[in-house]
Structure 1
Amino acid sequence: MIMSLHYLVREPKFIQEKNPLLLLLHGYGSNEADLFSFASELPQEYFVISAQAPYDMLYGSYAWYAINFDADENKFSDLNQARQSRDMIADFIDELLEKYPIDATKVSLIGFSQGSILSYAVALSYPTKVSKVVAMSGYLNLEMAIEGFEKNDLSGLKIFASHGTVDQVIPVEWARKTPQLLENFGIDVVYKEYPIGHGVSPQNFFDFRKWLVENK
């Protein structure tokens, strides 16, 4: 079976009839090996699969969508590419369910930065495919969700969102708007901040791992 995205996989240590899945989505300019460095520390009953974004930026760097700058150095996300990647991730989940004995009701996305922005978009657009999201150092961009996503039943989603208070790439103010927006859609959300920049601190990792264990 030819898969639509390149990926790394850590198979579960505790084999069940169907195991849950953690799908890792890296940030802009990174690759599938980045978040996969966490894999050995993640709960042993999960398939841990880290996907590589489709847009090659050369030298081992990849993006889920382009970020363009105007003359005043304002940043713009390429929404068409983002929406294509959103649907590519949704299709990739289907491919993984076909290839591996994964419990389709226990698929969690763990995204960092651009990967977390897309994790929100996939979950809101296709809530039947995703049960939980860990969104680190990102924010909610509703323009990346499918049109009419508000009609979806989003009440089953659980989200752990986190951000660094001195993030120099994505301002913490953007992230702070996210919990209320999600709660307006009836989504169960936990939001935490850490005294760091654009990255994942040990405490952040510990907290989201604990959250995963508590929200099986």
Structure 2
Amino acid sequence: MDTSPLESVIVDTGAHPDTCILWLHGLGADGHDFEPIVPELPLPPGAAVRFVFPHAPVRPVTLNNGMAMRAWYDFRALDPGRGEDHAQVGETVALIQELVARARGEHQRVILGGFSQGGAVALLAGLGEGPAPDAVFALSTYLPDADKAGIALAQRTRGLPVFMAHGSMDAVIPVDFGRRSARALQALGVDLQWHEYPMPHSVCGDEVRDLGAWLTPLLPG
């Protein structure tokens, strides 16, 4: 029986996958949102990877007039770092770290990432004390306030491979939030790769290509 804490969409690129990539969607989407991107990633031929796309819980979102939707945490105002429900951020980080721990028991390598709100959770889950992924990618997002979320940052983050990418025309999470987060990560000593693209709050082909190139050397040989 599946006892996973979250329902998920699962896509395998080969038999007996030795790598698990946990990919968290953005606010109001679901686990199917990035499912079509799997065949677009330029991964090595024959790479056996399990992509896990969890569905966030359904909850009211204050920013959207209290409408219930899939959300990793409530946004009271679109003011990253201050507008989040920090208690929910901390609870979700713990939930995602549980998924990381489960994946670690079944796979040689675990990579955690996400887009927008999902990317914010991925960053904190990857940097915080607790079960740790081998690498993190964060798309069109920012690093939430760890102290307000009750999360202690881990010493093991030094040298952690991190891929961040952002659209220079992003009107939802302005690129400056991403740039500031990138500087904060560099101060923590992570092995950061930063990219900007002329796009809005979205994903583009060049970004998918660059993400695939970053992922490739992280996969077991």
**Would you call these one fold, judging by a TM-score over 0.5?**
yes
Are positions 1:102 and 2:104 aligned together? no
Q: Are the aligned partners of 1:127 and 1:153 in contact in 2 as well (CA < 8 Å)?
A: no
SS in 1 for 2:170: coil
Q: Greater CA deviation, 4-13 or 49-58? A: 49-58
CA distance in 1, matches of 2:134, 2:24: 16
Aligned to 1:40: 39
CA distance in 1, matches of 2:184, 2:137: 16
Aligned to 2:30: 31
Residue 203 of structure 2 aligns with an amino acid whose one-letter code is: V
Q: Are the aligned partners of 1:56 and 1:62 in contact in 2 as well (CA < 8 Å)?
A: yes
CA deviations over 1:111-149 (Å, ceiling 9, x no partner) = 100011111100111475211111100011232665432
Q: TM-score, normalised by structure 1?
A: 0.86
Q: Are the aligned partners of 2:10 and 2:52 in contact in 1 as well (CA < 8 Å)?
A: yes
Counterparts in 2 of 1:95 and 1:147: CA distance versus 1, 3 Å = closer
Counterparts in 2 of 1:146 and 1:131: CA distance versus 1, 3 Å = farther
1:117-136 mapped onto 2 (5 Å cutoff): 117-126=120-129, 129-136=132-139
Aligned to 2:218: 215
SS in 2 for 1:37: helix
1:75-114 mapped onto 2 (5 Å cutoff): 76-98=83-105, 101-103=106-108, 106-114=109-117
Counterparts in 2 of 1:102 and 1:89: CA distance versus 1, 3 Å = same
1:197-216 mapped onto 2 (5 Å cutoff): 197-216=200-219
Q: TM-score, normalised by structure 2?
A: 0.84
Aligned to 1:158: 161
CA distance in 2, matches of 1:120, 1:188: 13
Identity %: 26
Aligned to 2:64: none
CA deviations over 1:134-182 (Å, ceiling 9, x no partner) = 1100011232665432x52212410010000010100111111122211
Q: Are the aligned partners of 2:90 and 2:151 in contact in 1 as well (CA < 8 Å)?
A: no
Q: Are the aligned partners of 1:23 and 1:108 in contact in 2 as well (CA < 8 Å)?
A: yes
Q: Are the aligned partners of 1:31 and 1:61 in contact in 2 as well (CA < 8 Å)?
A: no
- Gap regions ≥5 residues in structure 2: 62-66
Shift of 1:14: 4.9
Are positions 1:69 and 2:74 aligned together? no
CA distance in 2, matches of 1:5, 1:164: 29
Shift of 1:2: 1.8
- Gap regions ≥5 residues in structure 1: none
Counterparts in 2 of 1:32 and 1:173: CA distance versus 1, 3 Å = same
CA distance in 2, matches of 1:145, 1:188: 24
